[in-house]
Amino acid sequence: MIAEFWYKIKTSPLSLLFVIGLLLSLGLGTLYSIAQVQLQAPPNAFSKQVIFLIPATILMIFMTLVSKRLVHKYVYLGYGFIVLAVFLPFFGQKVAGTYRWINLGLPFGLQPSEIAKWVIVITLARYLSDHNLQMNNFASNLVPFAIALIPTFIVLNQPDLGTAFVMMTPVIPMLFWVGARPYHLFLIVAPLFSILAASNVLAFSIWAAIMAIVLYMAKPQLWHGVAIYFGNIFLGLIFPLLWDTLRPFQQKRVLTLINPELDPLGAGYQIIQSKTALGSGGLFGKGWGQGTQTHLKFLPVQESDFIVSVIGEEFGFAMLFIMLVLFSWLIVKMIKLGLNASDRFSGLILIGISTIFLAHVFVNCAMSAGMIPVKGLPLPFVSYGGSFLLSSFMMIGLVLNFGREELD
Q: Judged by CB, which is closer to other proteins: 181, or 233?
A: 181
State how far the Cα of 95 lies from the Cα of 88, in Å rounded to an integer.
13
H/E stretch holding 216 reads: helix 201-218
Q: Judged by CB, which is closer to other proteins: 101, or 165?
A: 165
Q: Judged by CB, which is closer to other proteins: 232, or 270?
A: 270
User: Does 324 engage in binding with other proteins (CB under 8 A)?
Assistant: yes
User: Does 143 engage in binding with other proteins (CB under 8 A)?
Assistant: no
User: Does 358 engage in binding with other proteins (CB under 8 A)?
Assistant: yes
User: Does 11 engage in binding with other proteins (CB under 8 A)?
Assistant: no
Q: Footprint of other proteins on residues 370-399 (CB under 8 A)?
A: 370-371
User: Does 40 engage in binding with other proteins (CB under 8 A)?
Assistant: no
Q: What is the CA radius of gyration of the chain?
A: 22
Q: Judged by CB, which is closer to other proteins: 23, or 335?
A: 335
State how far the Cα of 209 lies from the Cα of 203, in Å rounded to an integer.
10
Q: Footprint of other proteins on residues 258-317 (CB under 8 A)?
A: 273, 275-283, 292-293, 296-299, 312, 316-317
Q: Is 235 in contact with 195 (CB distance < 8 Å)?
A: yes
User: Does 214 engage in binding with other proteins (CB under 8 A)?
Assistant: no
User: Does 169 engage in binding with other proteins (CB under 8 A)?
Assistant: no
Q: Judged by CB, which is closer to other proteins: 51, or 188?
A: 188
Q: In the chain, what is the straight-line distance between the N-terminal and C-terminal CA atoms, in Å?
A: 15
Mapping DSSP to helix (H, G, I), strand (E, B) and coil, where does residue 110 land? strand
Q: Judged by CB, which is closer to other proteins: 206, or 324?
A: 324
Q: Judged by CB, which is closer to other proteins: 224, or 297?
A: 297
Surface-to-core class of residue 150, CB atoms within 10 Å of its CB (0-12 exposed, 13-18 middle, 19+ buried): middle
- Which member of 73, 224, 252, 253 binds other proteins (CB under 8 A)? 73
- Count CB-CB contacts under 10 A for residue 305: 27
User: Does 72 engage in binding with other proteins (CB under 8 A)?
Assistant: yes
Stretch that binds other proteins, among 52-60, 114-122, 124-132, 134-142 (CB under 8 A): 124-132
State the DSSP code for 82: H
- Which member of 57, 137, 321, 405 binds other proteins (CB under 8 A)? 321
State how far the Cα of 332 lies from the Cα of 399, in Å rounded to an integer.
12
User: Does 192 engage in binding with other proteins (CB under 8 A)?
Assistant: no
Q: Judged by CB, which is closer to other proteins: 307, or 331?
A: 331
Q: Is 278 in contact with 313 (CB distance < 8 Å)?
A: yes
State how far the Cα of 381 lies from the Cα of 326, in Å rounded to an integer.
12
Q: Is 384 in contact with 307 (CB distance < 8 Å)?
A: yes
User: Does 366 engage in binding with other proteins (CB under 8 A)?
Assistant: yes
State how far the Cα of 399 lies from the Cα of 54, in Å rounded to an integer.
19
Give the nearest distance from C-beta 365 to other proteins in angstroms. 5
User: What DSSP string describes 175-197?
Assistant: HHHTT--HHHHHHHHHHHHHHHH
Give the nearest distance from C-beta 329 to other proteins in angstroms. 10
- Which member of 345, 381, 384, 388 binds other proteins (CB under 8 A)? 345
Q: Is 353 in contact with 15 (CB distance < 8 Å)?
A: no
Q: Judged by CB, which is closer to other proteins: 347, or 385?
A: 347
Closest CA to 336 of 400, 406, 403: 403
State how far the Cα of 260 lies from the Cα of 8, in Å rounded to an integer.
43
Mapping DSSP to helix (H, G, I), strand (E, B) and coil, where does residue 98 land? strand
Q: Is 143 in contact with 100 (CB distance < 8 Å)?
A: no
Q: Judged by CB, which is closer to other proteins: 211, or 326?
A: 326
User: Does 145 engage in binding with other proteins (CB under 8 A)?
Assistant: no
Tell me which residues touch other proteins (CB under 8 A).
68-69, 72-73, 129-130, 132, 173, 176-177, 273, 275-283, 292-293, 296-299, 312, 316-317, 320-321, 324-325, 327-328, 331-332, 335-336, 338-339, 341-347, 351, 354, 358, 361-362, 365-366, 369-371, 408
